[in-house]
Structure formats: structure tokens, C-alpha cells
């Protein structure tokens, strides 16, 4: 079974730290307060946001972390790793195409954000491996039931966000944070579980 290198732990752990830490700090720096339940993460990096560089750099770091994790996740399928990396690159493009001041149209931002969310939500569903692909069972995160279940949960969270967004609901910000936060946490869980399974098999062989 192919192992996940130690640096994969660093990249996968960096993702939720950068995302959650970024939106928390950026929200606190907004004058007059910031409604994290209603307002989006992108609002914190918009052209007219106070200290917009905080969320911008956090998004760039988040995207780079996802690309690094995709390179490290050797037990996952190549297609899943490519999709995770695509989500990371699209996240960097979100930062590179901020919302304009005053809330005008931002098609480039919308496309980049849509690609990022869908890719980061869908990659677990195609990460599972058949048992006969390698000797023994694949690591827990890459077994069909777990991988499909994780993908389903992430896409359900994304569906909630899109529904709130389309109806201009009062929980757009909350639903986005639930969706994005879970998408940032699952790669870390997959890395840790895969490394634990690898260590267990090494001990059994010894």
C-alpha cells in the first residue's frame, strides 16, 4: 500500500487552519462588525473590504495546501487527486478575482468559486479503490462506502450553500462556512487515517 508522506500532514492540516483562522481574523478586523451568518467569505476579500489581504492570502494558502495534499494522497485514485488539485487551483483563482467594490457582477469570481466548491466536494466520491487494485483492503477513507459517504456529506453541505445563495437566504454565510470548512477538514482526516493504516500494516509485517 502506498503511504502518505509526512509533509502531507502539514499541507492537509494547513488547509483548515488557514481557512478558519483567515475568516475569523478577517471578520474581527472589519469596522463595525461582520455578520458571519449572513455574509460570505468572499466579502472579506472583496475590493472594498477592510484588511482584505488577510482573507486573500488565506485563500491563496488554502489553495496551495490543497494542491500539496493532492500530491501527497498516493493511496487515492489519480482522478480524485487531480480533482482535489483542481479545487486548490480554483481557490487561488478565487483570491485572484475578488468581488468588486459595491457588490457588482463578478463572473470570473463566480466561475472560480463554483469550480472550487464542486471539485473539493466531489473528489472523495471518486477516491475509492477496488480491493484487487492492491494487495489487501485500501485505507479506510478510500473504501467505497466511506469515500462515497464522505462525498455525499460534502456535496450535501454544498447543496445547502447553493440553496441559500439562490434564494438570498439569511444563512448564506453560515452555510458557506459549513461547506467550505468540511471540505477543508476531510483531506486532513483522509491523510491521518491513511497514515495510521500504513503504520498498522508495517507493524503487522514486522
Q: Distance between CA 77 and CA 73 in Å, rounded?
A: 9
* 80 and 127 Cβ atoms separated by less than 8 Å: yes
pLDDT digits (tens, 9 = 90+) for 40-92: 999 999 999 999 999 999 999 999 999 999 999 999 999 999 999 999 999 99
In a domain, 86, yes or no: yes
In a domain, 1, yes or no: no
In a domain, 191, yes or no: yes
Give the model's pLDDT for residue 108: 96
**DSSP, res 55:** H
For residue 200, what are the domain limits? 6-125+136-205
In a domain, 81, yes or no: yes
What is the DSSP track for 176-195? HHHHHHHHHHHHHHHHHHHH
pLDDT digits (tens, 9 = 90+) for 115-171: 999 999 999 999 998 764 455 678 899 999 999 999 999 999 999 999 999 999 999
In a domain, 131, yes or no: no
In a domain, 44, yes or no: yes
In a domain, 99, yes or no: yes
Give the model's pLDDT for residue 151: 97
**DSSP, res 51:** T
| Number of compact structural domains in the chain | 1
In a domain, 67, yes or no: yes
Give the model's pLDDT for residue 182: 98
Name residues whose C-beta falls within 8 Å of residue 93's C-beta, 6 or more positions apart in sequence: 63, 108, 112, 115, 116
Amino acid at each position: 500500500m502506498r503511504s502518505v508522506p509526512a509533509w502531507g500532514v502539514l499541507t492537509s492540516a494547513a488547509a483548515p487552519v488557514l481557512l478558519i483562522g483567515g475568516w475569523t481574523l478577517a471578520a474581527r478586523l472589519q469596522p463595525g462588525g461582520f455578520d458571519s451568518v449572513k455574509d460570505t467569505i468572499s466579502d472579506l476579500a472583496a475590493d472594498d473590504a477592510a484588511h482584505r489581504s488577510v482573507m486573500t492570502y488565506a485563500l491563496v494558502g488554502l489553495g496551495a495546501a490543497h494542491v500539496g495534499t493532492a500530491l501527497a494522497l498516493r493511496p487515492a485514485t489519480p482522478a480524485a487527486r487531480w480533482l482535489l488539485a483542481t479545487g486548490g487551483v480554483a481557490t487561488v483563482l478565487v483570491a485572484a478575482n475578488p468581488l468588486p467594490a459595491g457588490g457588482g457582477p463578478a463572473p470570473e469570481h463566480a466561475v472560480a468559486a463554483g469550480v472550487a466548491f464542486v471539485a473539493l466536494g466531489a473528489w472523495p466520491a471518486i477516491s475509492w479503490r477496488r480491493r484487487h487494485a492492491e494487495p489487501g483492503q485500501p485505507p479506510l477513507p478510500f473504501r467505497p462506502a466511506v469515500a462515497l459517504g464522505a462525498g455525499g456529506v460534502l456535496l450535501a453541505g454544498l447543496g445547502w450553500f447553493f440553496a441559500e445563495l439562490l434564494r438570498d437566504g439569511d444563512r448564506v454565510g453560515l452555510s458557506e462556512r459549513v461547506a467550505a470548512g468540511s471540505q477543508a477538514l476531510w483531506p486532513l482526516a483522509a491523510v491521518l487515517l491513511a497514515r495510521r493504516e500504513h503504520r498498522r500494516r508495517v507493524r503487522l509485517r514486522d
